[in-house]
Amino acid sequence: MRRDIDKGIQLSNSYTHRLALVASDAHRSLLNQGRRGIERETLRIDRQGNLATGPHPRALGSALTHPQITTDYSESLLEFITPAEHDVATALDELDRIHRYANSKLEHELLWSQSMPCVLPDEADIPIAWYGTSHIGMIKHVYRRGLALRYGKAMQCIAGLHYNYSLSEDLWRVLKKDENSSADDKTYQSESYIALIRNFQRYSWLLMYLFGASPALSTHFLRGRQHELQTLSDDTLYLPYATSLRMSDLGYQNNAQAGLMQPYNDLESYMRSLSRAVRQPYPAYEAIGTRRDGEWIQLNTNLLQIENEYYATIRPKRVINSGERPVEALCARGVQYIEVRCMDIDPFEPLGISLQTSRFLDAFLLFCALDASPLTDAAANREKTENFARTVKEGRRPGLSLQRDGTPIALQTWGLELLEQIQAAAAVLDAQRGDDQHAVALAVQKEKLLHPELTPSARVLAELQDTNKSFEQFGLRQSIAHAEYFRARPLNEQENAYFNALALSSIAEQQAMESTQTGDFDSFVIAYNERTPRQLCD
């Protein structure tokens, strides 16, 4: 039953039917064949809680070619990447080993435990990630130079956690056959992921309430910017009911991108919008230019330098080949998985995320994949954007209302209804596993809706009260505790040898790229900028 027909919690007919199909003995095992991967960002800091501005530790390998340890915007912003696994518990075990290895190599440094940054130096002293002198390495570096010019370096030091999720291609084929769809497999799968994304955008405010963990930040972060935050202490600003300032207009927001992505209901529309943006000149960036004193300072002067510059809470993704652009891969081979990008680092978890949270995400995303997903329009797009924005700044405000199909509804009421719907997906996942991990994860989230003080954001503020109301002191305390946790469990000889070998081989691979490349960098940039499929830009 469609939401616009029935405002209650009754499951939609399509959701019930699809769940029954997936839960059948013939198909339930396909749930084990999807994949999960995690990307966790974290700043390197010194023992006093200041940004560590030295180069990427050589002991960790090459940030350009290492498959599991790299950097994001800054040389100081590490990114740990797990392989895609059938069970997220396996991915978390791998993430744990990466953390243990990195901690063993950092010597006098720590990993920052928060999404919002530690104490940062002056803008000029925040190091931009360096990937060597190969053309690919320089593309990555110049792109980050452009980000620094466009948005400032401080914002690029915010850390998040990305959750990569896919369902088995065989499962999509089962659903396609059941619907008697005439689309080819690639198209059906791609459009099904886009439908998942539409549902995710409708309901992602719930993730911000349940898992947002950045209600406060350092006064140093804003650097004179106008804001409406309240003062908690000399070094800390906050909002009393905020869940995730990281995902508010103080974090990953960009006025230049406002209106870039029109409501999209299919993959073609999404790619068309991105393709236009990477070719559309933007006056403020044109005024900056692409070179300064003979050096490249941004890849181009368009609204986006590359597709990844578009800040989104979720993205359709496809593994790309070396030198290939994301939109090329999507055009050629369709959507392979989705990347959830709105999750804060959980400062109470050494890995930044728990297995219980991951189990909930799996149930939530399965619900988004199987439930009816009505097409969206401008009004629905505004509604979901406003619901998300309200939740990240005021999510724990007593009696807070959101809008559902133009009608006010209490956040708590809607959240509890959604959990009831998600419970059906959790039950199917637990039946396949033979345990109750997903049901337990949902029960924990229900308690957060009934008792806001149990949310991570409320717990952070409670901890600040016990740490002289200081965000910086709280972050450092957690960082030290996490470092001790990892260092108390050193890798065994075989595990350590594995990571040492990865580090050495990544360095050798980068050196080989630099010694064998041909042509000049200017020509390489021009060719790279031209690789967006032109047929999507008309």
Q: Which helix (H) or strand (E) is 538 found in, with range?
A: none
Confidence of residue 536 (pLDDT cuts 50, 70, 90): low
Is-contact 118 45, C-beta < 8 A?
yes
Confidence (pTM): 0.95
CA 498 to chain centre: 27
Distance CA 131, CA 62 (A): 8
What does pLDDT average to over the chain? 93
Using one digit for the tens of pLDDT, what is the confidence trace for 382-439?
999 999 999 999 999 999 999 999 999 999 999 999 999 999 999 999 999 999 999 9
For residue 251, the model assigns a pLDDT of 76
Confidence of residue 463 (pLDDT cuts 50, 70, 90): very high
CA 126 to chain centre: 22
> What residues have CB less than 8 Å from 107, skipping those under 6 apart?
none
Confidence of residue 7 (pLDDT cuts 50, 70, 90): very low
190 backbone dihedrals φ, ψ, rounded to 5°:
-60, -50
Number of H helices, E strands in the chain: 17, 14
Of 477, 476, 479, nearest in space to 49 by CA: 476
Using one digit for the tens of pLDDT, what is the confidence trace for 194-240?
999 999 999 999 999 999 999 999 998 988 888 899 999 999 999 99
Confidence of residue 537 (pLDDT cuts 50, 70, 90): very low
pLDDT beyond 90 at 327? no
DSSP-derived 3-state class of residue 381: helix
Using one digit for the tens of pLDDT, what is the confidence trace for 110-145?
999 999 999 999 999 999 999 999 999 999 999 999
pLDDT beyond 80 at 5? no
Phi-psi region of 70 (alpha: psi -120 to 50; beta: other; left: phi over 0): beta
DSSP-derived 3-state class of residue 407: strand
Token pair, residue 507, equals: 């360095």
Using one digit for the tens of pLDDT, what is the confidence trace for 162-190?
999 999 999 999 999 999 999 999 999 99
Is-contact 237 219, C-beta < 8 A?
yes
Confidence of residue 535 (pLDDT cuts 50, 70, 90): low
Domain boundaries, the chain: 13-257+281-317+339-517
Token pair, residue 497, equals: 């040898």
Lowest mean pLDDT among 44-48, 88-92, 274-278, 457-461: 274-278
For residue 445, the model assigns a pLDDT of 98
For residue 538, the model assigns a pLDDT of 43
DSSP-derived 3-state class of residue 145: helix
pLDDT beyond 80 at 73? yes
Fold exhibited by the domain 13-257+281-317+339-517: Creatine Kinase; Chain A, domain 2 (3.30.590)
Q: Output Rg (C-alpha) for the chain, integer angstroms.
A: 23
For residue 58, the model assigns a pLDDT of 97
Distance CA 322, CA 490 (A): 34
Give the pLDDT mean for 244-250.
93
Confidence of residue 324 (pLDDT cuts 50, 70, 90): confident
Of 267, 374, 387, nearest in space to 317 by CA: 267
Give the pLDDT mean for 497-526.
96
Sole residue written with tokens 């190091």:
127
Please indicate whether residue 191 or residue 223 has the higher confidence score (pLDDT).
Answer: 191
Distance CA 122, CA 145 (A): 16
Sole residue written with tokens 């990195």:
102
For residue 66, the model assigns a pLDDT of 98
Distance CA 476, CA 488 (A): 18
Q: Quick one: three-class SS letters along 304-336? A: CCCHHHCCCCEEEECCCCCCCCHHHHHHHHCCC
Distance CA 158, CA 221 (A): 10
Confidence of residue 533 (pLDDT cuts 50, 70, 90): low
DSSP-derived 3-state class of residue 204: helix
pLDDT beyond 90 at 250? no
For residue 233, the model assigns a pLDDT of 95
Distance CA 283, CA 261 (A): 19
High-pLDDT (> 70) share of the chain, % = 95
